[in-house]
Structure 1
Amino acid sequence: MEAEDLQEELTCSICLDYFEDPVSIECGHNFCRGCLRRSWTPGGGLFSCPECRQPSAPAALRPNWALARLTEKTRRRRKGPVPPGLCSRHWEPLRLFCENDQRPVCLVCRESQGHQAHTMAPIDEAFQSYREKLLKSQCSLTAKMKKVIQLQEMEAKNTTKWKVQIKNQRMRIATEFSKLHNFLTEEEQLFLQRLNKEEEETKKKLKENMLRLNETIISLKKLIIEVGEKSQASALQLLQNPKDMLIRSEMQDVNCSLEVLKVKTVCQLPMMKEMLKRYQVAVNVAEETAHPKLVFAQEGRYVKNAATESSWPVFSTAWNYFAGWKNSQKTTHIVEKFQHLPCVLGKNIFTSGKHYWEVENRGGLEIAAGVCQEDIMGITDSSRMSPHSGIWAIQWSSAGYRPLTSLPLDPPNKEPALLRVGVYLDHEARSVSFYSAVDGLHLHTFSCSFVSHLRPFFWLGPLASLVIPRVTDGK
């Protein structure tokens, strides 16, 4: 029997593939057991043969072992290399192209259940159609490749140009900063020369004052001796022109005015304002920490002390110190808001880095600003606001400014007249500095060991008010 005839005998007429578990029915035809079960109507009654239409009962199914063995032997023999142009399942010529599965199939595959609903086309027509599509796709890809190559060339040129720009910019930055270094060095020398000149002039003035005072002392000593000798002389000698001696004593000038020595040369670095602005942060007050007399507006950026000076409780320093000591002994819980002083903390908690913010005095009355520890809200006396208590701040008004320290209060510095003060916290350098926000003039710096957590601190005198300016995008 030829191979094609043998394959036809070993093929199920339902699935058009080799028999799988072949069975025979009453009319003698053979089918796959699974194909036959799928073809009859459920219910268990008689069914018609798919080929001759003769009725047969499901109980009449008989396994065809001989056909199964022959099918298996033929299948094994067909498992060798498939000749080109033949179907790997049916060994039939590939004459059709299945659009759904996107592969060539034979005529037997077309009749199988797996391909009955699929779109088929003659293989030569499908070949021509897809060849034309692939050629068009190749042209399109070639055009895209040319465009990408052009972009690559442009990118290479841009990269070269960019590298040159980076090199030039690096040289420009180095040159400009070298100029700036020279400029700052010159400015430093200028300030130091100005300070040296002031020092020499002051020393000269002091020397002149000391010489004049020494001459006055010598003159007074000489006059005291003459007056003493005159007073011890006899009556006739004493009364020899005594008025002249008295006139000389009265005319002796001792009204030597002494001026308080102050350093007039200020420390004002060029571009300090711009450098500080780089570290500017938005600061808002934490209203829950505020004294009850403080009122707020502008989303916590405006603060006012509503208490007048007459209504604010006044205690002696000794009593305040004793009360604070007594309260500190009894208090075991953390105070969460100020009860004694008109203070408020900022919401910000600084643990590292550099930070800068500004505080504006509205009305010229006394206010203070700076940084503090988080646990200082139980403080009872304004005279104890100092680094020793965990507060690093300066106090200012229209009358002048002074840093808050535990030392005896110095007269306030009247220059410059401050409206807005900048607070600069450098956590790593363990310092907090204060500047005039108008011109960047340095006012004061505290250097000490900080705790890990610091917060903005604000104090307001009676009827005083302050504003924390909004931080703009450009800072």
Structure 2
Amino acid sequence: MASTDFKEEVNCSICLNVYTDPVTLRCGHNFCRGCIAHELDTQEGDGGYTCPKCGKRFHERPTVQIIDLCNSADCSFSAPSEYQAPSTFCTYCIHAPVPAVKSCLLCEALLCEDHLKVHSKSSEHVLSDPNTSLENRKCSTHKKILEYYCSKDCVCICVSCIAFGEHRGHVVEPLNMAFQKKTERLRYFLEKLTSKKKRAEKKVRNLQKRRADVQEKASGMTKRVAVLFRDIREQLDLLEKRVLNEIASWEQQVNLSVSELIRQLEMKKDELSRKMRNIEELCDMTDPVSVLQGREFFKEDLCDPHDVEDEARERDYKKIYEADDLDEGLITVTLHAGLADIMTGVKRGIYVSESLDILLDLNTAGNYVTISGDLKTLSWSEVNQYRPETPERFQYCQVISSRCFSSGRHYWEVETSESGDWMIGVCYPSIDKKGVQSYIGNNNKSWGLCKFNNEYSVIHASEVSQIPYCVSCQSFRIYLDYEAGQLSFYELQGPIRHLHTFTASFTEPLYAVFYVWGDWVRIQS
């Protein structure tokens, strides 16, 4: 706006260019000498003259006065693109420009500090910032000061709008009052938005921390698993070498025995061949004297071929086939023992306890369930068992384990029937034994996985969350990490699938707890 006003001061309103030989009329408007002369010439004979800018009429041709606007014109070329408007000065300080501090909307005057002190304090004289545009504070229809606010149309109006304008009969209130209400409402919304922003920022921080924790835990677990598999591969390599060495040792031992026996048999075969040739030569002779006289010479060749050495070689031959075969049983035992040692190291490396041998506590069983003799199976019964009333006994079809967990990592596996309803999980020993609040998950002292009407869910403190996908198996693993405060449920059919993990700060020992209705639940050994 300041730049536009500046251009209007140095530009002729007729040719719209910078003034050339500028002159002014008595009304105060400036033009180029040639432009205004030509404009006045065209008005000759019309009975008067008018200013092209404001329309002020003159009965006689107005005289023009030469003015000096060179400095302003030069400024138009040298001024920066963003022109800074001069300070607003007091209307009443005519001897020297004094900066204004307020403007009176009624008087349409700018006031300095001194004139503000003596200005009327009447409510009609509305004071505002000196840079406030007066046009924006006046009614566009009646040109009066905007003093009221129409709540119906949500606009600022003047007195005339209320008296005989289009807002007559509407609910109105003074601007200051409406301003105060609007400001209070804006502050209220600002507080709400600030509170929401803080909550969002807190959630972002929590999520960032959660992401960092997840990354740290995943990184740690990745390193542990990598080290574990490296150790497994090293141990498998050692086990493979040990077993293969045993096989190679057996092979080498047998080959040595076989090679020695073959060598002896080859020598025996050569000796026999030599004797056979000598005998064949005797048989080919026709002279009886020669054959008979050569008898002493061939006496050794004509001895019995079956001797002590043949018997020894025969024993060695049978031994190779019968006694020195590979002991596959020994190899199998070696493999099993080695693999068992590796698995023990794996479990130790990931800190997983052996599957627990959980037994049911008959003293806590409700009267409409039966417990198997091995204390492993809980079955629903239509017949009241009339067990002795004790503080530990559940009113409904529930039972807890005889052992508890107050530290460490443990897991146990449970098999359920295809029909009927059931709940499995853990609970504190202080859980209620009577009333609906004693059911697993209907309190803040138990956590459970439930099946009701063929729908699966998890429950704690009466808050139920549905399992988001179909569960189609009857075998489940319950994994407890007491120090970490985590209780997880897994589906065991096919690939093991995670169902849900509860996170809590456990404050009491935990017992395995079971509920059944209509069929049975069994703890797997």
TM value normalised by structure 1: 0.33
Rg (Cα) greater in structure: 2
Which of 1 and 2 has higher RCO (CA within 8 Å, sep 6+)?
1
TM value normalised by structure 2: 0.30
